[in-house]
Structure 1
């Protein structure tokens, strides 16, 4: 776990810095600088691009991680990388032809409720393509155990570029319409940066020859396209469908609430960058006991860290919304509901990495298809009736059912168990801290109120976790930190 802890801590720090920048963008600049309509349009474009990016990448970013350890020589690795980089063309060429001939019909269908979407609809596949190839190059550095710079580009550099151009909108240098166009260029630029770094970590040498297990690689990629698309659909279909049923401004309100809740999943995103290739390696080598140990450690570690963030958000949520324009303040319920789904996902540790690298990934795919259909159906029912709260409820039900299904599959099919009594103790500590601080507000401005309450809840939560000795890795980090500050 040494390399996992080391790079996970770095990735977590980088990701939280990125989220701090993203918080400034999402909570302050987007609402005040861009306005509700163009903020909603931006949210629609990015969420739609995120839904289709596994298709644009042909799922090869996951394929690269799974199969990389099976190749021994540099020649074999070059053949493999070339093969997976060319695979997306199987999808891109037909999509380009279909999109060129039927753009008007497709764009008109998706913009029937909000006509502003029509002129920008073509940007969705372009950004999706950039996202896809970014993840391919990112996977290349992850398999070489160099995930930190990729986290920096994805979490910090991207958001810094967005911040710069949001200020350009504020000072009248560019219009809101131009900002939406520039956003596409930002994603292209970060993809090129990732390509340059991937080539530095390990030079990318093209070798146009089918790898010896090309059929297995192709089959896995085809299934992972659907699996990845299902997972992303469950995450972003709500924003897309809000744009189909109610005014696009509601995506802006929903995006703010979703961003706040998504902060909970930062530890998971950071740790998975390095645990994914380690999981693949352990499964390839058949080390069941080590994999089961890693499964338990990632579960309790993510629950503890994510639980602190979740409690911190919930006890400060009312004060946080006082800092936003009044129209945005109806999202508290969304934060609670989506936050709960994110917290449950943390409990599963590296569950996704285990499934995607197992022989059972095809079976789970079909289950995912059913749940994706359920997600669309629930959103169709709830959004027209309950607006953004309905989208949140649909998302919670869909993600919880999908997560439970994946958990049961790993438990019964692979005999791997993520939970111990420590998970129950960590949940109890989170409840204690929530009820101790949620109903307690200081009688001054929201910002010092949030800061003071966050410090108090963090001290209490971390102290209880440390005394309970729920995670040796986390206790080691706490002890090292206390030692450095002289405590």
Structure 2
């Protein structure tokens, strides 16, 4: 079993266990037991945290990954890599502190006027930002040492489990709102502490000062790449968070909570992609350094097929059961029904584009990638301004879809122009067409009579079983991917061994 495959499988296992935990929290407990305003508060804190984390790292995480081979020297503590990362982190955290204080009024502002709850807990942004930025430093360091599993466990599973506990305690009235937000923030911070101890345990923790980077012949390209990666990363996170922030600006905290619940589905669709990206990074970068673009092409296309396979299955199952799923939560969330579909389609196009962000972003053409990302943010911003006032939450989702198609299409055009590789294949077309046909069949399946939650669960099981089996078996016999068929065969073999 290859390194990528082994780490992807283990990482995906933790990720999907985390999805299970996160689904209970985000898709059921929070929508049912927290107010939409409280849901919106958590969404805003997380959205701004993810933006400020990238500023706090000052591009060192991305540049560190790209240039880590220059530092790699176990005997010399990797030539001061962690020391330089810590210096960058401290400077970045100071910068974030000034920005959070200085832009407080602008960040809190909303046309809907319901800002009091966000204003009360606004500065929680700082500790969760600092902790997550620290975690990213250690996680990328471990990833460069070919360990992607620990970071996945801590961020994808453990953190979500701790958040679940905080929510359960709040629902049980063991915590007031102030204490709940505090414990929720602690849950976000815990992975950074545990990752620190993990790096120490594997003997890679070394903060010894070193002037290696300052005296190196790659200092200028390192700093240039770091600077552009800050712009690219900030713009990239804006891609996923700008719509949430603008929903808050135009529609208020309550509607932000509803929109955030629908976005959770989109984040679930990209879980396996994120795991694959982490596991593939070091190998793809090495192949690019060696100009082995046949190898890059193979990984590029296989990643695209695998991610679209999983994404299509998830989207089909969710849309066939969409009314039943929304019946589990408060009626006010039903306004987000079509947001879920639109965001799902956007994510599918994103998944079909494979590892394009890795390939272009870490190539010598990364400056073009930065410019493309900036243009994407501008397009997304304008579309949100045009569509949200007229179409509400659906307008925000349509803006995300249009901008995603624009962004990935031009990125793939650039990759084809420079490297003569692309992620597309006939297999993608077969997967998507099969998914559409199975969705039509699923929508015409007769509904069970629903009286209570048990009937809802039975309806979910019934429709998921029929549509899931039909879709997976169809794709298996179409032989859209040797890797997917082998994966299915492996699952059957393991099931046989249990009986």
TM range (shorter): over 0.9
Does structure 2 retain, via aligned residues, the 8 Å contact 1:262–1:339? no
Q: How does 1:48-197 map to 2 (within 5 A)?
A: 48-74=48-74, 75=76, 77-97=78-98, 99-100=100-101, 102=102, 105-106=105-106, 109=109, 113-116=113-116, 117-197=118-198
Residue 419 of structure 1: aligned partner? 424
Does structure 2 retain, via aligned residues, the 8 Å contact 1:261–1:335? yes
> Any unmatched runs of 5+ in structure 1?
none
Aligned-partner Cα distance in 2 for 1:471–1:377 = 39
Deviations 1:111-151 (A, max 9, x none): 98332222222222332222222122111121222212211
TM-score, L = length of structure 2: 0.92
Residue 453 of structure 1: aligned partner? 463
Secondary structure of 2:385's partner? helix
Secondary structure of 1:470's partner? coil
Deviations 1:389-416 (A, max 9, x none): 1111111112221111111111112211
Residue 341 of structure 2: aligned partner? 336
Q: Mean Cα displacement is larger for which, 460-469 or 21-30?
A: 460-469
Does structure 1 retain, via aligned residues, the 8 Å contact 2:71–2:79? no
Query: What's the offset of the Cα at 1:16?
Result: 1.3
Pick the aligned partner of 2:237 from 220, 226, 232. 232
Secondary structure of 1:174's partner? coil
Aligned-partner Cα distance in 2 for 1:176–1:32 = 16
Deviations 1:241-297 (A, max 9, x none): 122121211111111111123221122112112011211111122211111111111
Residue 14 of structure 1: aligned partner? 14
Residue 316 of structure 1: aligned partner? 321
Secondary structure of 1:486's partner? helix
Does structure 2 retain, via aligned residues, the 8 Å contact 1:378–1:394? yes
Q: Mean Cα displacement is larger for which, 359-368 or 129-138?
A: 129-138
Aligned-partner Cα distance in 1 for 2:361–2:184 = 31
Secondary structure of 1:209's partner? coil
Pick the aligned partner of 2:389 from 374, 384, 389. 384
Q: Does the C-alpha gap of structure 1 residues 115 and 421 become closer, same or farther in structure 2, counting only changes over 3 Å?
A: closer
Does structure 1 retain, via aligned residues, the 8 Å contact 2:8–2:275? yes
TM-score, L = length of structure 1: 0.94
Q: Does the C-alpha gap of structure 1 residues 95 and 162 become closer, same or farther in structure 2, counting only changes over 3 Å?
A: closer
Aligned length: 486
Secondary structure of 1:88's partner? helix
Which structure 1 residue ranges, 4+ long, deviate > 4 Å from structure 2? Answer: 97-100, 103-112
Pick the aligned partner of 2:251 from 234, 246, 250. 246
Does structure 2 retain, via aligned residues, the 8 Å contact 1:283–1:357? no
Secondary structure of 2:164's partner? helix
Pair 1:398 & 2:398 matched: no
Query: What's the offset of the Cα at 1:423?
Result: 1.6
Aligned-partner Cα distance in 2 for 1:344–1:220 = 27
Q: Does the C-alpha gap of structure 1 residues 460 and 70 become closer, same or farther in structure 2, counting only changes over 3 Å?
A: farther
Q: How does 1:169-318 map to 2 (within 5 A)?
A: 169-210=170-211, 211=213, 212=216, 213-318=218-323
Does structure 1 retain, via aligned residues, the 8 Å contact 2:309–2:431? yes
Secondary structure of 2:209's partner? coil
Secondary structure of 1:122's partner? helix
Q: Does the C-alpha gap of structure 1 residues 277 and 110 become closer, same or farther in structure 2, counting only changes over 3 Å?
A: farther
Does structure 2 retain, via aligned residues, the 8 Å contact 1:242–1:250? yes
Aligned-partner Cα distance in 1 for 2:257–2:313 = 27
Aligned-partner Cα distance in 2 for 1:55–1:96 = 11
Query: What's the offset of the Cα at 1:97?
Result: 4.2
Deviations 1:149-174 (A, max 9, x none): 21111111111111111121112111
Q: Mean Cα displacement is larger for which, 65-74 or 301-310?
A: 65-74
Q: Mean Cα displacement is larger for which, 276-285 or 1-10?
A: 1-10
Q: Does the C-alpha gap of structure 1 residues 24 and 98 become closer, same or farther in structure 2, counting only changes over 3 Å?
A: closer
Does structure 2 retain, via aligned residues, the 8 Å contact 1:426–1:470? yes
Query: What's the offset of the Cα at 1:482?
Result: 1.3
Report the aligned-residue RMSD: 2.0
Q: Does the C-alpha gap of structure 1 residues 97 and 432 become closer, same or farther in structure 2, counting only changes over 3 Å?
A: closer
Deviations 1:453-473 (A, max 9, x none): 112222222212222222222
Does structure 1 retain, via aligned residues, the 8 Å contact 2:80–2:207? yes
Pair 1:42 & 2:42 matched: yes
Does structure 1 retain, via aligned residues, the 8 Å contact 2:163–2:188? no
Aligned-partner Cα distance in 1 for 2:51–2:95 = 18
